[in-house]
């Protein structure tokens, strides 16, 4: 009986309802379209549903569909679900599969399209790169500019007269034997020192520094290597920004946004350090001309470099973890740029005008002003190097208008140009004989350039009452100062007038009133009973304290009608008690006096050691008091 019931149930279940059969075939067709017939068979074989799909029984095919949809080979006939409910569940699952497959196909198509576009771009870049390699970056414009550059190089000047006439060895440097020896002793040791060179312009400071480096490099013990650089910069043209946007001396960082680093670095947002002259001078000499003109803040920064011997760079844009940062930039930010060099500064200023912090770290060397004879020697040497003859009076004429070696050489070069053109015009296109420079050529140059004699006041033969030559110095260049005095008894006793030209400066004006006290003390005359007029010829500003001796001498000469030789000059500060005190720049002052034709110079006794043996052709007389000066000038003076 039970067996019959089971058969009856199976027969009831397997009775194929046309609608259920149709829906089952439709779902199976969806799967076949979704995966493809071959893939459907493979899936059915793996999930043990192949035999069920081929079964005539609807329940078996439904189980096969379930296994395929849910990818589960253990699924059997669902208990509690009718065929209708089972078909609805399968429809939902197959719909999800179809939707997922549709989305996947859409994404695949988009991905394929993008990949194809990238592939085309890649191929296009490869073709462009290949064309660059074959053709290069040149075009008609760049090629034309390249030709222009080549033409400029071909017609460049191989040499100039000034370069040709410059000293080529230390032996050719004139008038600076002591300075050369001193600088050599500071640079030519195993431990060279930083140096500041003082002296007037055009006496060879830069040239001597270059030549000494050339000599020192040949020594076995020197730290300067054969390729040691000599980096020269003029402090008057060094421009920098306190925000460190630019600093050609020390170096700076070009940020990718504000200053703009190189394109390949800017595109990556990488800052670019720019090394300065201190790094370019590493292992050699950094020569700073007119170092006194350097910005005080920049001088302090330079001192830091001298201590650290390196330059450190900072930038908020630098990311040490960025793998795109080039190694040299990473190294500059991490370790800094080397800056181990010897500083050689040159200045025409007085030592007290240089920052004390710089002076304390540097040795000091003084270059002397050139005498007239030395200037003449420079002119003669330059003529020899230029390969020309000069008349005997040419060198003397040039020396009358300048005490700067560089300027003397320039005047000679201009005169050479005139002489050369004159000969070419007279003889044809090419001058075959040696050029001869005459005084007429030099005078023509002097007129054309409006040159004035370097010594407006000169010594002369003879004597004058109330006229005295004082000594002054400006920028290491000494010169004569003509001081004259006129003294007359006043019309009313005790009501004398005193006049002194204010243009000479307040300190000189004070020295005049100090002089009245000294006159009263030494000579016993009260100048309140006299009309006194003192004049500095030309109205030039003078160094007041150092003009004290000259002022008192001029007044005393006029008061006592004592003539003063006009080839005698004097300098010295006077105290109210008549003592002659030391003054500055005495060497330069005596140089100026010698060039102006002075034969005898009165200087403070305390300054005598500074000039001992320096002026063998000049009578240098030290004095301790004004009475001593009067005695050596006039003998007994009452």
Instruction: Supply the Cα-derived Rg of the chain in whole angstroms.
Output: 50
Instruction: Give Cβ neighbours of residue 341 (< 8 Å, ≥ 6 apart).
Output: 231, 278, 281, 282, 283, 284, 285, 286
Phi, psi of 430 (to 5 degrees): -135, 130
At 199, give phi and psi (nearest 5°).
Answer: 160, 165
Structure-token match 């005139």, residue found: 418
Reported as type and span, the H/E element at residue 392 is helix 392-401
* 407 belongs to the catalytic site: no
SS3 48: coil
- The verdict on whether 589 is a catalytic residue reads yes
Cα separations in angstroms, 636 against 93, 222, 628, 629, 633: 139, 61, 10, 11, 9
Q: Which phi and psi angles does 303 have, rounded to 5°?
A: -60, -40
Which residues are CB-neighbours of 583 under 8 A, at least 6 positions away? 543, 545, 546, 571, 572, 573, 589, 603, 604, 607
- Which residues 6+ apart lie within 8 Å of 516 measured at CB? 498, 527, 532, 555
Contact 62, 86 (CB under 8 A): yes
Q: How far apart are CA 258 and CA 316, in angstroms?
A: 12
d(CA 419, CA 438): 8
Cα 578 from Cα 612, distance rounded (Å):
24
Provide the terminal-to-terminal Cα distance of the chain, rounded to the nearest Å. Answer: 176
Nearest to 288 by CA among 274, 306, 308: 306
- Which candidate in 546, 557, 558, 579 is catalytic? 546
Other Cβ atoms closer than 10 A to 361 = 15
Residues tagged active-site: 546, 589
């Amino acid at each position: 009986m039970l067996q019959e019931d089971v058969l009856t149930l199976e027969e009831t279940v397997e009775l194929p309802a046309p609608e259920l059969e149709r829906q089952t075939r439709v779902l199976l067709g969806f799967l076949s379209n979704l995966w493809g017939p071959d893939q459907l068979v493979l899936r059915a074989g793996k999930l043990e549903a192949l035999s069920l799909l081929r079964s005539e029984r609807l329940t078996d095919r439904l189980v096969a569909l379930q296994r395929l949809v849910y990818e589960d080979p253990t699924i059997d006939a669902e208990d509690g679900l009718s065929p209708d409910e089972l078909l609805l569940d399968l429809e939902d699952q197959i719909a999800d599969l179809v939707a997922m497959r549709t989305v996947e196909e859409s994404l695949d198509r988009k991905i394929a399209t993008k990949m194809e576009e990238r592939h085309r771009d890649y191929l296009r870049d490869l073709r462009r790169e290949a064309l660059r390699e074959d053709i290069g970056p040149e075009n008609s414009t760049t090629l034309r500019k390249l030709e222009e550059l080549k033409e400029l190089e071909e017609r460049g000047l191989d040499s100039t007269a000034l370069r040709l006439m410059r000293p080529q060895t230390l032996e050719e440097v004139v008038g600076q034997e002591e300075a050369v020896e001193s600088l050599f002793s500071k640079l030519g040791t195993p431990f060279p020192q930083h140096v500041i060179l003082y002296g007037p312009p055009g006496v060879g400071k830069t040239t001597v520094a270059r030549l000494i480096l050339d000599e020192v490099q040949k020594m076995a013990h020197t730290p300067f290597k054969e390729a040691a650089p000599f980096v020269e910069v003029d402090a008057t043209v060094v421009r920098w920004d306190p925000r460190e946007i630019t600093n050609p001396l020390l170096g700076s960082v070009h940020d990718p946004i504000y200053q703009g680093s190189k394109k390949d670095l800017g595109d990556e947002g990488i800052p670019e350090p720019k090394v300065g002259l201190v790094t370019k001078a590493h292992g050699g000499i950094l020569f700073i001309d007119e170092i006194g003109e350097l910005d005080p803040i920049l001088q302090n920064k330079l001192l830091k470099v001298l201590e650290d011997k390196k330059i450190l760079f900072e930038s908020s844009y630098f990311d040490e973890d960025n793998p795109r940062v080039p190694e040299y930039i990473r190294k500059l930010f991490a370790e800094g740029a080397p800056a181990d060099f010897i500083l050689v500064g040159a200045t025409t200023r007085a030592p007290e005008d240089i920052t004390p912090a710089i002076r304390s770290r540097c040795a000091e060397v003084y270059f002397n002003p050139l005498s007239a004879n030395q200037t003449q020697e420079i002119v003669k040497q330059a003529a020899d190097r230029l390969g020309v003859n000069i008349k005997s009076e040419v060198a003397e004429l040039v020396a009358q208008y300048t005490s700067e070696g560089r300027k003397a050489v320039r005047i000679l070069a201009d005169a050479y140009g005139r002489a050369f053109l004159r000969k070419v015009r007279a003889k044809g296109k090419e001058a075959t004989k040696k050029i001869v420079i005459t005084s007429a050529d030099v005078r023509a140059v002097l007129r054309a350039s409006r040159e004035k004699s370097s010594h407006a006041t000169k010594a002369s033969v003879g004597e004058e009452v109330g006229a005295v030559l004082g000594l002054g110095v400006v920028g290491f260049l000494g010169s004569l100062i003509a001081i004259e005095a006129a003294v007359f008894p006043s019309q009313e006793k005790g009501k004398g007038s005193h006049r002194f030209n204010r243009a000479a400066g307040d300190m000189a004006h004070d020295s005049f009133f100090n002089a009245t006290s000294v006159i009263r003390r030494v000579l016993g005359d009260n100048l309140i009973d006299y009309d006194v007029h003192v004049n500095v010829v030309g109205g030039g500003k003078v160094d007041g304290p150092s003009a004290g001796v000259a002022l008192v001498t001029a007044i005393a000469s006029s008061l006592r009608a004592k003539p003063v030789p006009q080839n005698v000059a004097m300098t010295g500060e006077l105290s109210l008690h008549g003592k002659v005190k030391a003054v500055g720049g005495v060497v330069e002052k005596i140089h100026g006096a010698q060039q102006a034709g002075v034969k005898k110079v009165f200087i403070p006794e305390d300054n005598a050691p500074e000039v001992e043996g320096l002026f063998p052709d000049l009578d240098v007389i030290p004095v301790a008091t004004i009475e001593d000066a009067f005695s050596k000038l006039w003998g007994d003076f009452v």
